[in-house]
Amino acid sequence: MLIDLFLTFFMIGLLSFGGGYAMIPLIQEEVLYRHRWMDASQLSDIVAVAGMSPGPIATNIAVAVGYQQAGTVGAIVSSLAMILPSLALILLAGKLFFRYRDNELIKSSFFGLRPTVAGMIVYAAIVFAQNSGITARMTWFAWSQLLIFAGSLFALIFLRKHPFYVVVLSGLVGIAVYG
Amino acid sequence: MNAKRKLLGSIFLTFLKMGPFTFGGGYALIPVIEREIVEKRKWLHSNDVADIVAVSGSVPGAVAVNSATFIGYRLAGTGGAVAALLGIFLPTFVLMIGLSLMYIHLKDNPKIEAAFLSIRATVVALIAYAAIKIAKTAIVDFSTGALAAIAVGLLLSGYVHPVWLIAFGALSGIAVVKVRALLGKKTKIDEEEPVYDYMI
């Protein structure tokens, strides 16, 4: 288990170009489909708590998943595994940076990576959307989910509210509507 | 030897103090870094910070963690990198364990269950928002738009692991730029200024 945790999060840490949310599709693939460590609802809850808490969302998720699987030791293993590639690459990049920063090849690959990552994140949203019932048949529940989704998105984009407040407000709405 | 120990200790403590500020997400840490490291301790210049952030954004991993590691390395080699890393990571680690514990104990409470039913829909919005922001600087023309659409399609098909998608993305970028160059067209591959806000 610990070895699985380590290898999985090492790989995720190695491939997370584009920031924390870019890791989520990778995490979904590994945690939900390959290892089946939990179901989509539980992962979604972890993402919510991780997004509310200080610190990078990706490492927060690693801590939570590791903890759920193997207690505190698991949390340490998974988060260290995720950080290790960054550490190694920074130590390497520190020496190489000024030589390769304006390298055309590197910049070209990022030109392609950025939209790919955007697509990956869209896919991650779709996975969680299907899980939460937003895309289900036209039941009252599906409509309420859709409304909550739309309201949250509005709050984030146009009202520019911090995720912490949006999640807390959503929780209160949930208690009122579903409680 | 003792001086080195003291330096590592103060690097660790400096980054530990920044803990609460990581609440804003990676790029929100930059003004804090400027204040603590450039102005207060005069360990680095302002220009250095910009370069460091640029590298930290390109290397895989979270910007906050990468920046801290890089600065630590600049100040005191590998030991400094580790000290900085531990300093910035420890508070969030402990907090997350606490929250996980709370979640495990509370999740069967009906009110909490109801709350999370709503929160799951909000999580979709959070992720969609992240996608929108990255798309703003990522999708600049037809080729990048097509690439994003293809990525979504490949993932939905269920046959492609995200790992391969990343390789595909990088290679496609190189291919598109090369083909355009052959056709005599120049591609704008420099990234715009990243959006400095709390989510990334």
pLDDT digits (tens, 9 = 90+) for A96-110: 665 566 677 878 888
- Which of B68, B95, B96 is CA-nearest to residue B12? B68
Measure the CA–CA gap between B51 and B57, rounded to whole angstroms: 10
pTM across the whole model? 0.82
Which of A115, A128, A152 is closest, CB to CB, to B148?
A115
Does B170 reach chain A within 8 Å, measured CB to CB?
A: yes
Percent helix, strand and coil across chain A, each to the nearest 5: 85, 0, 15
Q: Which residue has the tokens 């949310």?
A: A21
Count CA atoms within 13 Å of residue B185 on its CB side: 8
Least confident of A9-13, A83-87, B157-161: B157-161
Q: Nearest-CA residue of chain B relative to A143?
A: B121
Does B164 reach chain A within 8 Å, measured CB to CB?
A: no
Structure tokens at A30: 């590994």
Q: In sequence order, what are the residues at sequence separation of 6 or more whose Cβ sits closer than 8 angstroms to the Cβ of residue B114?
A: A174, A175, A177, A178, A179
pLDDT of residue A77: 95
- pLDDT tens digits, one per residue of A47-67: 988 888 888 888 999 999 999
Burial class (CB in 10 A: 0-12, 13-18, 19+), B131: buried
Residue positions counted in chain B: 200
- pLDDT tens digits, one per residue of B108-150: 888 888 998 898 899 889 888 888 888 888 888 898 999 999 9
| Residues of B in Cβ contact (< 8 Å) with A149 | 121-122, 124-125
The structural domains of chain B, with segments of one domain joined by +, span 2-106, 110-182
Which of A86, A113, A152 is closest, CB to CB, to B169?
A113
Measure the CA–CA gap between A10 and B131, rounded to whole angstroms: 24
CB pairs under 8 A between A and B: 361
| Residues of A in Cβ contact (< 8 Å) with B60 | 13-17, 85-86, 89
Q: How far is B3 from chain A (nearest CA, A)?
A: 23
pLDDT of residue B198: 42
pLDDT of residue B97: 94
Does B71 reach chain A within 8 Å, measured CB to CB?
A: no
The structural domains of chain A, with segments of one domain joined by +, span 2-99
User: In this structure, what DSSP letter does residue B25 have?
Assistant: -
ipTM value > 0.85: no
Q: How far separated are the first and last CA of chain B, in Å rounded?
A: 38
Q: In whole angstroms, how far apart are CA A99 and each of B21, B50, B119, B148?
A: 32, 17, 46, 30
Please compute the mean of the pLDDT values over residues B2-30 and round it to a whole number: 80
Provide the residue type at B129 as one letter: Y
